[in-house]
Structure 1
Amino acid sequence: MTIDALIFDFDGLLLDTETTLLESWRFEWRQHGLELSEHGFFADHGGDVNEERYAALAAAVGPAYDRAASHARRTTYRRGLNQRLEPAPGIRAWFREAGELGLRLAVASSSHEDHVRGNLVRTGLAADITVLACGNEVAAHKPDPAVYLLALKRLGVAAERAVAFEDTPHGVAAAQAAGLRCVAIPNLYVEKARFAAADLVLPSAATAPLSEVLAGLPERRTRRP
């Protein structure tokens, strides 16, 4: 099967922004003398759940909690962490190889375009990306396939001629619901056993050259009606 395009998730896959998100919230809880548990922190769907996180912190702190000051302090801290992030191991090499193979690259993320584009530009990855499709542009988030369908539409590529790369089970479900084969590179906060549905699971992009990964994919599964 000929492959024309690759579609990557962003958070936790291209950059480890999942860790900076968690650390920014741990930092903010500690400003109030509290500790945040990692358990249950990450949602099983895409999209912004920070309002629920602020509500949980407000309940823990009590009436003295200042939501605006808390948000400003946490987001400033996270921006500082993100400024130091580099692409995940193997990603730069995969992007270079994709260019050599003539493959177009897209990003399909549940996050807001400002967050995605800003980090892609800062790390130099944006120059290789043909298409962005982001959470603020669709009505539903992963595991809904909307953002992948938008990416495919903008690429002008049929699903059977593209491959997705994801770091979460709900991301894999979204890609496959859009008719894509999906390579999973689980992030640090998801049990590896939850990726049984992925077409291929790798520990990192540094595991093998991109050409070997694509050659090792099974034939596209027949979608259920």
Structure 2
Amino acid sequence: MTLDALIFDFDGLIMDTESTLLESWRWEWRQHGLELPAEGFFAAHGGPVPERYEALAAAVGAGYDRQASHERRNAYRQRLHETLPPAPGIRDWFDQAAELELRLAVASSSDEQWVHGHLARAGLLSRIEVTACGNEVAGHKPDPAVYLLALQRLGLGADRALAFEDTPHGVAAARAAGLRCVAVPNAFVAADRFGRADLVLTSAADIALAALIDKIS
């Protein structure tokens, strides 16, 4: 397999923003003396945010202030993000990609401001040549739109790039764009749901990039 570029998902793969999302909601429930029922929290690609507030409002009852709750939870999550590092092994993969002369891209369903802000804080944005984000396309994963946009901006066919994802719907998006895909499941998705991935790892720290590419080839 001859490669020119690696295309990474962002949330849950480059940085574990999935855990901060769950923790922020647990924290907000505890502000009301309640415990968040974790079951189903990450269903349906993370679950619609309005439904999460509705569930908390129902649990709190009269006097629940949704706007104040939203602002308090987001402020707490922001504090968590201030010290959030890249996921284990990601910096090493980026270093190894440079040694292998591979171009780096990010394809995320999240907003460009969110993705760029976190990458910049972690010192990774300058190392990424191309980003394609959810606010730039009509469909979110499993729609392949962000991957197709990333490939267009790279000027490459799908056969010259390799995708990295942490969720089954992300893998589906990459495969629909014609890409091979390595899965590094986040902590909230069972590894047996990644049957469409070409390779499944427990962590980016599991294997050197050159060895990984050899396995995919």
TM-score normalized by the length of structure 1: 0.92
Whole-Å separation in 1 of the counterparts to 2:136 and 2:35? 34
- 1:138 deviates by 1.5
Q: Which runs of 5+ in 2 are unaligned?
A: none
Cα deviation 1:126-185 (Å, max 9, x = unaligned): 111011111121211111111111111111111111000000111111100110000000
Aligned to 2:211: 212
Whole-Å separation in 2 of the counterparts to 1:139 and 1:61? 36
C-alpha contact 1:143 1:170 (8 A) present in aligned 2: yes
Aligned to 2:89: 90
C-alpha contact 1:172 1:184 (8 A) present in aligned 2: yes
Whole-Å separation in 2 of the counterparts to 1:184 and 1:145? 16
Q: Bigger CA drift: 70-79 or 107-116?
A: 107-116
Aligned to 2:110: 111
C-alpha contact 1:10 1:108 (8 A) present in aligned 2: yes
- 1:3 deviates by 0.6
Whole-Å separation in 2 of the counterparts to 1:77 and 1:67? 15
Whole-Å separation in 2 of the counterparts to 1:38 and 1:10? 23
C-alpha contact 1:45 1:143 (8 A) present in aligned 2: no
User: What is the one-letter code of the residue matched to 1:147?
Assistant: V
Q: Bigger CA drift: 204-213 or 34-43?
A: 34-43
Aligned to 1:143: 142
Aligned to 2:35: 35
Cα deviation 1:65-118 (Å, max 9, x = unaligned): 111101110000000001111111111110011111111111111111111111
Q: Which runs of 5+ in 1 are unaligned?
A: 219-225
Aligned to 2:127: 128
Whole-Å separation in 2 of the counterparts to 1:110 and 1:217? 25
SS at match of 2:131: strand
Aligned to 1:221: none
Aligned to 1:191: 190
Whole-Å separation in 1 of the counterparts to 2:97 and 2:64? 49
1:155/1:144 CA distance change after superposition, 3 Å = same
C-alpha contact 1:45 1:141 (8 A) present in aligned 2: no
Aligned to 2:10: 10
Does structure 1 residue 81 correspond to structure 2 residue 80?
A: yes
- 1:214 deviates by 0.9
Whole-Å separation in 1 of the counterparts to 2:71 and 2:146? 29
- 1:57 deviates by 1.5
Whole-Å separation in 2 of the counterparts to 1:45 and 1:156? 29
User: What is the one-letter code of the residue matched to 2:36?
Assistant: L
Extract structure 1 runs of 4+ deviating beyond 4 A.
none
Whole-Å separation in 2 of the counterparts to 1:14 and 1:147? 16
